[in-house]
Chains A and B, each alone.
Chain A
Amino acid sequence: MAETKVYSRPTTWAKDIHTHYCPGCGHGIAHRMICEVIDEMGIQEETVSMSPVGCAAMMYDYIDIDYVEAAHGRAPATATGIKRVLPDKFVFTYQGDGDLASIGMAEIVHAANRGEKFCTFFINNAIYGMTGGQMAPTTLIGQKATTCPQGRDPELAGFPMRMCEMLATLETPAYIERVSLAKPKYIMQAKKAFQKAFNYQKEGRGFCFIEVLSTCPTNWGMNPVEAFEWQIEKMIPYYPLGVFKDFE
Chain B
Amino acid sequence: MAKVLMKGTEAIAEAAIQAGCRYFFGYPITPQNEIPEYMSAHLPEHGGIYIQGESEVASVNMILGAAATGYQVMTTSSSPGISLMSEGLSYIAGSELPAVVVNVMRGGPGLGGILPSQADYLQATKGGGNGDYHLMVFAPSTLQETVEVVQSAWDYAFKYRNPVMILADGFMGQMMEPVEITPHETERGDWKNWGLGNKGTREGKKRSLIKSMYLTAELLEAHNSKLQEKYDRMQKEDVKWEELHVEDAELVIASYGTTARIAKSAISHLREQGYKVGMIRPITLFPFPYEPFEKLTDRVKHILDLEMNMGQMIDDVKIATKSRFPVSFYGRCGGVAPSVEEIENQCKQILG
Interface residues of A (CB under 8 A from B): 44-46, 48, 50-51, 57-58, 60, 64-71, 74, 77-86, 89, 106-107, 109-110, 114
Cβ–Cβ contact B211 & A77, under 8 A: no
Distance in angstroms from B92 CB to nearest chain A CB is 10
Q: Tell me whether chain B's interface is mostly helix, strand or loop, or mixed.
A: mixed
- The answer for the CA separation of A70 and B67 in the assembled complex, in Å, is 12
Which positions in B face A, CB cutoff 8 Å? Answer: 23, 25, 49, 51, 53-55, 57-59, 61-69, 71, 73, 87-88, 91, 95, 196-200, 205, 207-213
Residue of A whose beta carbon sits closest to that of B87: A71
Question: A107 to B61, Cβ gap below 8 A?
Answer: yes
Decide if B197 touches A81 in the complex (CB within 8 Å). no
CB distance from A192 to the nearest CB of B (A): 27
Which of chain B's residues have a CB closer than 8 A to the CB of A114? 51
Which chain A positions have C-beta within 8 A of B64?
A: 68, 70-71, 74, 77-78, 81
Cα of A89 to Cα of B59 in the assembled complex, Å? 21
- Identify the closest chain B residue to A70 (Cβ): B61
CB distance from A167 to the nearest CB of B (A): 15
Q: Would you call the interface of chain A mostly helix, strand, loop, or mixed? A: helix
Question: Which single residue of chain A is at the shortest CB-CB distance from B57?
Answer: A74
A81 to B91, CA, bound (A): 15
Measured CB to CB, the nearest residue on chain B to A110 is: B54
Chain B residues whose CB sits within 8 angstroms of the CB of A74 once the complex forms: 57-58, 61, 64, 87-88
| B54, A81: Cβ atoms closer than 8 Å | no
Decide if A84 touches B23 in the complex (CB within 8 Å). Answer: yes
Cβ–Cβ contact B200 & A48, under 8 A? no
* Given the contacts A68-B64, A69-B211, A71-B87, A77 and B53 also touching, CB distance less than 8 Å: yes
Lowest 8 CB-CB distances: which A-B pairs, in order? A81-B65, A81-B66, A45-B200, A78-B65, A77-B61, A81-B62, A74-B61, A69-B211
Residues of B within 8 A of A106 (CB): 54-55, 57-58
CB distance from B56 to the nearest CB of A (A): 11
Assembled-state Cα–Cα distance A69/B69 (Å): 13
| Contact A81–B25 (Cβ < 8 Å) | yes
Query: Which residues of B lie under 8 Å from residue A45 when comparing CB positions?
Result: 199-200, 205
Closest to B59 in A: A77
In the complex with contacts A77-B61, A78-B61, A106-B58, A68-B68 CB distance below 8 A: yes
Q: What residue of chain B has the Cβ atom nearest to residue A65's Cβ?
A: B207
Q: Is the CB of B210 within 8 A of A69?
A: yes
B73 to chain A: which residues have CB within 8 Å? 81, 85
Q: Flag if A81 contacts B210 (CB, 8 Å).
A: no
- Distance to closest chain A CB from B193 (angstroms): 12
